[in-house]
A and B are shown apart, each in its own frame.
Chain A
């Protein structure tokens, strides 16, 4: 009898303890439940803070720059001599360098990328596609510094054999190599757009007697046009922001020219040159860095917005 009593007591205590234990862990988990959304939101805020940080630092330092150099002088000046005794800060030489190299890149990337996309999406068998696509993905995964090395040590000497007047550093060679780098971007995004065109449209055109080329040209491409154009715009944006290829292969002369055989500097290469030279903080040279970066940021930002807008607005829902 004693024994059972003790046992009863023991279990009673155990259950009591269990309930208490459970309650305390419940309240702990309740606190966790309350805290977690806040913590996760705080983490998600970091990405917003990054954007805000980029925009604010660029804005503030650019503002400092425009105290020393007028906006009009900056955007219309054709002379960029940041290091001379009487420095001049005209951004036009950098803008022409950036736009020319991007133009050359797109001249290479758009036709080749689009044709690659057409081949992969419309002509290639499933097996061929399975072999070719990963190879193109390798092309996209190669670091830009490797492309820079390739442009400088291989493409430029090769081009100089064809065009003797080409300077050792020029805008043509990095432009071409940048185009090759962008081919996979244009190709894979355009291919996605084209292969999302429903098969019924393809079959309809083929049944009416159109050849594959006619189907592609008159049905598939118009139907996928928004995605294709978005891929071009993203490609241009990549070309504008690309740094290492142009820094290595295009040199640092700040020519205001449209002659692609000459050395030119892009906005990105200018940033590399100035930061590499350890510009003293607070100098106009140092602030010019941010003004150029701001211009670059605005350019690529607008491009990305356009691309997002096009692919959202004109997406055909099938």
Chain B
């Protein structure tokens, strides 16, 4: 008895299988496109920066003459900026996360704060720049100094820190809290001595990722107004400053006039990408090494 005509079945299914494997190839190729572009981008930047990154470039001052230009001021500016962004955003972000996870009662207030954080994450960075310009630069007349840039940037990356800290706090198991209360600890003692240490790796990972976002962000600082050729090095919270992305921006748009500026921009990009790579590696190491799984 023959229930199935195998040849007939095979004929029918063959074209479907062929289409399937063709589709698999197309999907794989589409996945590769992103990777190919990434490779071209990095190769281009590397080849353009070749021979431009040297000691003089890293430690020199800015200059209109391409071969004498250095990025020390931009590097110091980035460090000063981070010195504002890191503590401010960590304080605000962790505080908000503790409030949302431990203290706020379920209800309209909490969901309002939470929705607000999610919406802030979607606001274009240039709008934050306008906020900084209106309030910090002009409103309280700080001018375009490290402090106003740092505060603007801290607000911009705040949602990243809040969400990461919330996840870290939520991951702390309930029995640790209960054990702490059982020993007679108060709520704040439990929060500050049990929860925060236990969730610290997750919080730090979030803070580092937020900082790496802040390092590469350009738009808000353009709006705040960073001069193209700033010679003195920044030496405090109230001094004028420039950062790497700003320098890349000015060199890129001026590369139409002076071709060598494109090389300078590429060299600065390499330094920027190296810094980002380093920070992300540290974040991954912290996450893998210190994060306990309960």
Q: Which residues of A contact B (CB under 8 A)?
A: 29, 32-33, 36-37, 39-41, 43-44, 46-48, 50-51, 53-54, 57-58, 61, 111-112, 115-116, 118-120, 123-124, 132, 135-136, 138-139, 141-150, 152-154, 168, 180, 183-184, 187, 209, 211-214, 234, 237, 240-244, 247-248, 268, 271-272, 275-276, 278, 281, 289-290, 293, 296-297, 300-301, 303-305, 308
Interface: B123 (CB within 8 A): yes
Contact with A along B26-37 (1 / 0, CB 8 A): 111011011101
Given the known interface contacts A61-B134, A143-B217, A275-B225, the answer about A268 and B124 at a Cβ–Cβ threshold of 8 Å is yes
**Which stretch, B70-78, B111-119, B175-183, touches the partner chain A?**
B111-119
**Which stretch, B52-60, B231-239, B244-252, B285-293, touches the partner chain A?**
B244-252
Residue contact A241 to B124, C-beta cutoff 8 Å: yes
Given the known interface contacts A33-B188, A47-B113, A47-B120, the answer about A141 and B95 at a Cβ–Cβ threshold of 8 Å is no
Residue contact A212 to B20, C-beta cutoff 8 Å: yes
The A interface, classified by DSSP as helix, strand, loop or mixed, is helix
Interface: B148 (CB within 8 A): no
Minimum CB–CB distance from B242 to chain A (whole Å) comes to: 13
Given the known interface contacts A29-B189, A61-B134, A244-B218, the answer about A112 and B123 at a Cβ–Cβ threshold of 8 Å is no
B212 nearest in chain A by CB position: A141
Minimum CB–CB distance from B183 to chain A (whole Å) comes to: 14
Contact with A along B168-204 (1 / 0, CB 8 A): 0000000000000000001111010000000000000
Once the chains are docked, how many angstroms separate the CA of A170 from the CA of B187? 59
Q: List 12 A-B contacts (CB under 8 A).
A: A43-B91, A61-B134, A136-B34, A139-B37, A142-B273, A145-B218, A145-B245, A213-B23, A241-B123, A242-B124, A272-B223, A304-B122
Once the chains are docked, how many angstroms separate the CA of A166 from the CA of B98? 53
Residue contact B92 to A43, C-beta cutoff 8 Å: yes
Contact with A along B244-280 (1 / 0, CB 8 A): 0100110011011000001001100100110010001
Once the chains are docked, how many angstroms separate the CA of A153 from the CA of B44? 9
Residue contact A301 to B122, C-beta cutoff 8 Å: yes
Interface: B68 (CB within 8 A): no
Pick from A153, A211, A213, A308: contact of B262, CB below 8 A: A153
Once the chains are docked, how many angstroms separate the CA of A248 from the CA of B253? 6
Contact with A along B149-172 (1 / 0, CB 8 A): 000000100110010000000000
Pick from A112, A149, A187: contact of B266, CB below 8 A: A149
- 9 further A-B contacts with Cβ under 8 Å, apart from A47-B117, A154-B40, A244-B249, are A39-B95, A40-B98, A58-B130, A135-B34, A142-B273, A142-B276, A153-B265, A237-B122, A248-B253
Interface: B229 (CB within 8 A): no
Once the chains are docked, how many angstroms separate the CA of A36 from the CA of B37? 50
Residue contact B269 to A44, C-beta cutoff 8 Å: no
Residue contact A112 to B33, C-beta cutoff 8 Å: yes
Given the known interface contacts A51-B119, A145-B218, A268-B219, the answer about A289 and B31 at a Cβ–Cβ threshold of 8 Å is no
Once the chains are docked, how many angstroms separate the CA of A135 from the CA of B37? 11
Minimum CB–CB distance from B139 to chain A (whole Å) comes to: 9
Once the chains are docked, how many angstroms separate the CA of A36 from the CA of B98? 10
Tell me which residues across on chain A come within 8 A of B128, comparing CB atoms: 54
Q: Which residues of B contact A (CB under 8 A)?
A: 13, 16-17, 19-20, 23-24, 26-28, 30-31, 33-35, 37-38, 40-41, 44-45, 48, 91-92, 95-96, 98-100, 103-104, 112-113, 116-120, 122-131, 133-135, 138, 155, 158-159, 162, 186-189, 191, 212, 215-219, 222-225, 245, 248-249, 252-253, 255-256, 262, 265-266, 269, 272-273, 276, 280
Tell me which residues across on chain A come within 8 A of B38, comparing CB atoms: 135, 138-139, 142
Pick from B16, B31, B117, B216: contact of A211, CB below 8 A: B16
Minimum CB–CB distance from B117 to chain A (whole Å) comes to: 6
Pick from A39, A209, A242, A293: contact of B130, CB below 8 A: A293
A-B residue pairs, 9 tightest by C-beta: A241-B124, A143-B216, A43-B95, A115-B30, A119-B27, A304-B122, A243-B219, A40-B99, A211-B20
Residue contact B27 to A44, C-beta cutoff 8 Å: no
Residue contact A271 to B131, C-beta cutoff 8 Å: no
Tell me which residues across on chain A come within 8 A of B28, comparing CB atoms: 119, 123
Once the chains are docked, how many angstroms separate the CA of A303 from the CA of B118? 13
Minimum CB–CB distance from B32 to chain A (whole Å) comes to: 9
Tell me which residues across on chain B come within 8 A of A281, comparing CB atoms: 138
Residue contact B45 to A146, C-beta cutoff 8 Å: yes
